[in-house]
A and B are shown apart, each in its own frame.
Chain A
């Protein structure tokens, strides 16, 4: 693979190589300082490539694993309309995963390697998808809170310094807002329904609130990579900054829903002009990331199964293509 040359930095560089590296670094620094975009074939620091590859592939995996909690509810959606909406949303998540895998591939990682890493349990994905979706109201809470948090995180990523990532994010953000609105609508309908339905909606919000806040990542003083990512214009705002913004939006929206957020400590800090929230259980976050969440094993198992079950389709399609090409060649 051509790009692997870029991945191994030789211990000692010849004078010409050193000169090329320095020229590359200078060009890269200029592009970043002008807030312009780096494109796939540009020289880039090895750490920049690695950081992006990790972030984009994890993001892609999250979209793919993220199909599961909602796909589980397609057969049990309360109406044909809701079923059609849910199917469209799950299809979007698959699409988002594919856009992001394409972006990651431009950094020199093959699609197959990423797929294999995911099903082998070697790759990470967002902690949020390791929580179970136990009621229909969870489809509402996932759309409103989880996709809402994702949008908050992703809108600034449209301006990420790496061109293919930014372009994938633009496409994703356009599609994502339907996801959040349909979730909001599910909750609103339940909230205006019977007392039991309203309780179901409140229960879902109670369970998804804290995990959604943790989607923004650890607090700034415990997020070692953030500073470098911001210096490279990959990240535009810190984890805490985005989390605070999100809390501010939810505070208003929950009123329209006629429900409450399970957090007594929410307040607007007049001095910092920022929204503050109650303590989050970061040990739980670390456990879920480390594979000890309620659904980690189930999600990976399901993904592995789907990949294995699809093997014959991929093989048949490849074989058909090979035979057609052969025929064309012979003719």
Chain B
């Protein structure tokens, strides 16, 4: 099974990050967790910048602007609900990425006979 998680959260989908309020504390619906991706300039990919809490996508975008682009760090922002992200299982990190190992011939550096040949 491939567990879902977000780059920053440990929460699994369907597991709201909520601590039950103590009996004497008023209950508040916690805002959900969003992951923020920022494109720093045209021509570059969106890169994960961090996370934040917001009640909905519109507020998440506004919060992300205030939190992650106070100094012109971005020209575009994506926000993604943290529990919508699927990731590889951290416990099987070795075996999951095993395939490329021992396949050095996939790299140009594997081919040494052409050394010294120009434009190759």
Contact = CB atoms under 8 A, between A and B. Distances in A.
A2 B10 contact: yes
B5 A41 contact: yes
Nearest to A40: B10
B115 interface: no
A81 interface: no
Nearest to B51: A102
A164 interface: yes
15 contacts: A1-B19, A2-B11, A40-B9, A40-B10, A41-B10, A88-B70, A91-B66, A95-B67, A102-B50, A105-B17, A107-B10, A111-B30, A175-B70, A311-B26, A322-B29
A315 B28 CA distance: 7
A230 to B, nearest CB: 26
A108 B51 CA distance: 14
The 9 A-B residue pairs whose C-beta atoms are closest, nearest first, are: A321-B56, A321-B55, A41-B90, A317-B55, A318-B29, A3-B10, A113-B19, A318-B55, A110-B19
A320 B19 CA distance: 23
A215 B28 CA distance: 35
Contacts of B90: 39, 41-42
Contacts of A116: 25
B15 interface: yes
A34 interface: no
B64 to A, nearest CB: 11
A53 to B, nearest CB: 12
Contacts of B25: 116
A267 interface: no
B84 interface: no
Interface of A: 1-3, 39-42, 88, 91-92, 95, 98-99, 102-103, 105-108, 110-113, 116, 164, 167-168, 171, 175, 311, 314-315, 317-318, 320-322, 324-325
B59 interface: yes
A318 to B, nearest CB: 4
Interface of B: 5, 8-12, 15, 17-19, 21, 25-26, 28-31, 33, 50-53, 55-56, 59, 66-67, 70-71, 90
A161 B26 CA distance: 38
Contacts of A98: 52, 67
A102 B30 CA distance: 14
Contacts of A315: 28-29
A299 to B, nearest CB: 21
A167 B47 CA distance: 13
B31 A2 contact: no
A317 B59 contact: yes
B9 A112 contact: no
Contacts of B29: 315, 318, 322
Contacts of B10: 2-3, 40-41, 106-108
Contacts of B9: 40, 105-106
A73 B112 CA distance: 67
Contacts of B5: 40-41
Nearest to B59: A317
A8 to B, nearest CB: 15
Given A112-B19, A318-B31, 18 more contacts: A40-B5, A40-B8, A41-B90, A98-B67, A102-B8, A102-B50, A102-B52, A105-B9, A106-B8, A106-B10, A107-B10, A111-B30, A111-B53, A112-B21, A112-B30, A168-B50, A171-B50, A321-B55
Nearest to B12: A2
A320 B52 contact: no
B110 to A, nearest CB: 26
Nearest to A314: B28
B8 A320 contact: no
A42 B10 CA distance: 10
Given A2-B12, A113-B19, A99 B50 contact: yes
Contacts of A40: 5, 8-10
Given A2-B12, A102-B51, A112 B56 contact: no
B56 A320 contact: yes
A112 B70 contact: no
A262 B109 CA distance: 61
